[in-house]
Structure 1
Amino acid sequence: MAFSESVETNDDDLISSMPAIVTDKILKYLPIAIAAKASILSRTWRHTWLSCHYLAFDGAFWDGFCKLDDSIDWHKGSSIITNVLCHHNGSIQSILLELRPDNADLLVDKNVHLSRWLSLLSRTCPKKITLINWAGEWSNLVIMPSYIFHCTELMKLKLQCFVLNAPPFDFKGFPRLKRLELLFMKFNNGIDMLWSFIAKCPCLVFLRLENCLGMDTLDVDAPRLEKLIIRGTFDSLRLKKVPRLIDVSLGSTKAEMSDTETAVATINSLASSYELQCLAIEGNLSKFLAAGGINKSLPVAFNHLDKLCLTDLILTDTDVFCFTLGMVQSCPFIKDLEISIISTTDGVQDKYEYHIDDYKLGRLHKVKITGITGTNAELKLIEYVLAISVVLENLFFKCEKLDAVSELRVLRQLIRLPRASTKAQFVCLGE
């Protein structure tokens, strides 16, 4: 009875007495709409959500504004975003903001609202900003307001589907920015503006550029960069002053590449790096490198590389097949190898040969090969990998849309291949 009375006379309930750091952690993982509703749980929580350090106006947020015809009420959603940012009474560590829906008629309105939101955000010194515009077409890109350059305390920045103008003349850079991701962007003042912008981010360790307009010439200069991802339609690729690179992914979606010599020189320079541990070559870049002369092992080996990924390989192209063997031979100490294959009926199927000699991979434990259809080139490649991998444990594989009979035929061919490692076993990957 005494215990009951003590509870009733206690003004502080369990929720109200939570430390601020615990409350902040809870609100961090709640959708913004639920965080607002949670304010009724306690008197002290009534305005706590308005000082939440982490805001996410994402797909779950916009789903709450679906009309009967499944369209999204942009005006209602954007009004709520404005109210939240206007009444927010604390610092914002991280914000995720999606601009929905995909509607060309809203371009001006989106730009006006985004300008106001960034103006409000710039006063809170955010550390992380993610802005995603649902564009659908290049003509629906929203112009990025210059207020983004006022957020000088940023450590992480991700922009998708925007037009980026040159920074103001007094912009001195993002001195603390460590991670930069630019996807489906257009640079109004040319690609040189991007490189001058990156040069003003002295602490940058992660850079991701994907499918941006005007990425014809890539000239990366970032002394502290550790991870680099570049995918797009570039003609030239040059890496300079990137001595700390650990992880590199390069992929081309272009049908032709005019400057293959520079790309080959870049791969050769990466081979001499003492830091590089993971290398991925994607898309048509393998074809361009093969045409540029990398159809055998490189003059300088990747002696420090742990993982090699070669994706979207057209092995029926003899040059690409030789390039693949050459890259594997140039990575004598890899532990992990991933290869994905694109099936095609082009090319001659009986000119794929290799010579093992005394070359062995003494550290390769794991291999993953996907897109297998059973061509002679594929089987020759797998046979080669099995023959030189003396400590291989698992070869994970996946066939590419084969009927049951064809897949069984491929399986029978695979298990008959000789293996240098007595521990090597095939593992079929599911859907």
Structure 2
Amino acid sequence: MTNRNKKEAKGDKISLQNGRSGLDFDLISDLPEDICNAILLRLSITDAVKASILSRKWRYRSASIPHLVFDKDWILPKNQEVVDIVNRVLSVHKGPVHKFVCSDHFLPLDQCGHDIDQWMLFLSEHGIEQLTLGPFMHGNWYVMHSCLFSCLELTDLDLASCEINIPPAFEGFRHLRNLKLCDIILSDDELEQLISKCLLLETLTLDCIRLAIRFKINAPNLRYLCLKIEFTSSAFDNEYFQQGGICNLIKAFGSLHHIEKMTLHDETLQFLRVGNIPDVLPASFLHLKNLSMAVSFMDSKEVFATFCMLRSSPNLEELEILITKRGIELHNPPLAVFWEAQERLGCLLNHLQTVKMTGIKGKECELSFIRFVLANAPVLGIMSIDIKMEITMVEKLRFLQDMLQLRRASTQAIIRCEGESI
């Protein structure tokens, strides 16, 4: 290459960098709009703001991001700084906000309750579809602004540490598919109303929810249900909880025709076993594949409710049992007679493939349940056993020896205890 050609090439290179040639172009600035938005959506809110220095055309792009996420993965400043930053971002925002997350900051409501009201008003006017808010500082519940119920495009709603008052004219979230409520204050009737008016609801999580006596889930399209229920103190004293009446299992789960996965933890089973427990529910869970329950084998009614759930789930494939300490020893009827009665009623777990049991203390009632499952699960592959550390090695070895003697309907069944197969 001649010196002249080298100079021309060098001149072209300089002009490309400094923007003084017709050959000049800016790869970052000239990206298509949809690609720019896709890049920004994959960045944290902090990095999206920093991207404004990439070029002149990117200076204000962060002001139109439709997803605003201020969660635990975000740099966590002090509480007031969080509020100030959110206020500043919303004040310059242009266009819709489809997703808003402000979680895990435990904000003090006495200092920022009014700010959150303003956030809710802003979101209700900018097409919010996915909303996550809370929890707040311990012992604080944000009184949800009524404008929430005008956010009719919501598809996902996740609220923690909130007090909700449903307006009489509320007709439901017609697009809501996923609802999660944690440590929420609202009445049983209002909770039922909220769920029943979300006709497309597919997943429902109720965590640390305090219920009284009756509760019904009317959600015919529900696929996944997670309940972690707590009782109000007055509920335990109510005579209804002792006997009589239609079982809460029937009342609560009467319309769950398409449920595929169910988690019943904390005091949920104690709530569901209220009333006269049937051998099998009137409508079986034909689509239920995965079931996780917290059970006290010392409480006969919880055990009855557990068997009712198993008999009502003919296509169950995965079962998890978390053993709790509630209740007293099963003396009436005698333990042996009780378990024989369960076997006579029949419960063939024809599709059960995996079982996991945690919190085992080496009790006879626990061994009886394991015996029952092994004898009635012809395609069982793995049963995982987690024995509590508080029992002695002698007790543990005796329990394992007793398990080795149990009959297994499945020739492929393996029992795993803390990583060991037997």
Q: Give TM-score, length-normalised by structure 2.
A: 0.79
Describe the shift of the 1:421–1:342 C-alpha distance in structure 2 as closer, same or farther (beyond 3 A). Answer: same
Q: Among 59, 65, 69, which residue is 1:52 paired with? A: 65
- 1:411 corresponds to which of 400, 404, 414: 400
State the partner residue of 1:16.
29
- Secondary structure (helix, strand or coil) at the match of 1:383 reads helix
1:144 match: 144
Q: Distance in 2 between matches of 1:7 and 1:404?
A: 77
Paired residues for 1:312-391 under 5 Å: 312-343=294-325, 346-347=328-329, 351-353=335-337, 354-355=339-340, 356=343, 360-391=348-379
How many pairs does the alignment contain? 397
Amino acid at match of 2:177: K
Deviation at 1:340, TM superposition (A): 1.5
Matched with 1:244 is none
Distance 1:257 1:208, change over 3 A: farther
1:216–1:233 Cα contact (<8 Å) kept: no
Tell me how far 1:129 sits from its aligned partner: 1.1
Match of 1:76 in 2: 81
**Structure 2: segments with no counterpart, 5+ residues:** 1-5
Tell me the secondary structure at the aligned position of residue 401 of structure 1.
coil
Deviations 1:357-402 (A, max 9, x none): 6763322222121111211111111011111111211112212224
SS state at 2:174 partner? coil
Contact 2:154 2:173 in 1 (8 A): yes
Q: Which amino acid aligns with 2:96?
A: S
Q: Give the corresponding residue for 1:267.
A: 250
Q: 2: CA distance between counterparts of 1:30 and 1:55?
A: 10
Q: Distance in 1 between matches of 2:57 and 2:234?
A: 54
Distance 1:24 1:334 in 2: 43
Describe the shift of the 1:136–1:417 C-alpha distance in structure 2 as closer, same or farther (beyond 3 A). Answer: same
Q: Any conservation in 2 of the 1:278–1:308 contact (CA below 8 Å)?
A: yes
How far does residue 14 in structure 1 lie from its aligned partner after superposition? Answer: 3.6
User: For 1:379-428, what per-residue CA distance to the aligned partner results, in whole angstroms no more than 9, with x for missing partners?
Assistant: 11101111111121111221222467254443333333221111111134
1:52 CA drift (Å): 1.0
Which structure has the bigger radius of gyration? 2
- List alignment gaps of at least 5 residues for structure 1: 66-71, 236-251
For 2:117 and 2:370, the matched residues in 1 are separated by 54
Q: Measure, in 2, the Cα distance between the counterparts of 1:158 and 1:315.
A: 33
Alpha-carbon distance, 1:112 to partner: 1.2
Whether the 8 Å contact between 1:173 and 1:197 is mirrored in structure 2 is yes
Residue of 47, 55, 63 corresponding to 1:42: 55
Written as runs of structure 1 = structure 2, the 5 A alignment for 1:17-416 is 17-61=30-74, 63=76, 65=77, 72=78, 74-98=79-103, 100-103=105-108, 106-107=109-110, 109-137=111-139, 140-167=140-167, 173-187=172-186, 190-198=187-195, 200-212=197-209, 216-222=213-219, 224-233=221-230, 255=236, 258-259=239-240, 264=247, 266-267=249-250, 270=253, 274-287=257-270, 290=273, 292-294=275-277, 297-298=279-280, 300=282, 302=284, 304-307=286-289, 309=291, 311-343=293-325, 346-347=328-329, 351-353=335-337, 354-355=339-340, 356=343, 360-402=348-390, 405=393, 406-416=395-405
Relative to structure 1, is the Cα distance of residues 324 and 99 closer, same or farther in structure 2, using a 3 angstrom cutoff?
closer
Question: Residue 56 and residue 391 in structure 1: after superposition, are their counterparts in 2 closer, same or farther (change >3 A)?
Answer: same
Whether the 8 Å CA contact 1:277–1:306 is kept in 2: the answer is: yes
Contact in 2 for aligned 1:312/1:342 (Cα 8 Å): yes
Q: Percent identity?
A: 28
Q: Does structure 2 conserve the Cα–Cα contact (< 8 Å) formed by 1:183 and 1:209?
A: yes
The one-letter amino acid of 1:44's match is K
Tell me: CA distance 1:404–1:35, structure 2 relative to 1, closer, same or farther (3 Å).
farther
SS state of the match for residue 215, structure 2?
strand
Q: What is the rounded CA distance, in whole Å, between the counterparts of 1:398 and 1:361 in structure 2?
A: 22
Distance (Å, rounded) in 1 between the aligned partners of 2:80 and 2:178:
32
- Partners of 1:170 and 1:301 in 2: how far apart? 33
**Are 2:204 and 2:222, in contact at CA under 8 Å, matched by a contact in 1?**
yes
Residues 268/297 of structure 1: CA separation in 2 closer, same or farther (3 Å cut): farther
Q: Measured at CA, do residues 286 and 145 of structure 1 come closer, stay the same or move farther in structure 2, by a change above 3 Å? A: closer
| SS of aligned partner of 2:53 | helix
| 1:80-127, Cα deviation, whole Å (9 max, x unpaired) | 211110101121110101384454xx52x3121112222222222111
SS of 1:218's partner is: coil
Distance across 2 between alignment mates of 1:173 and 1:124: 19
Read off the aligned partner of 1:209 and give its amino acid letter.
L
Deviation at 1:297, TM superposition (A): 2.8
Deviation per residue, 1:37-71 (Å, 9 max, x gap): 122223332211111111112234461x2xxxxxx
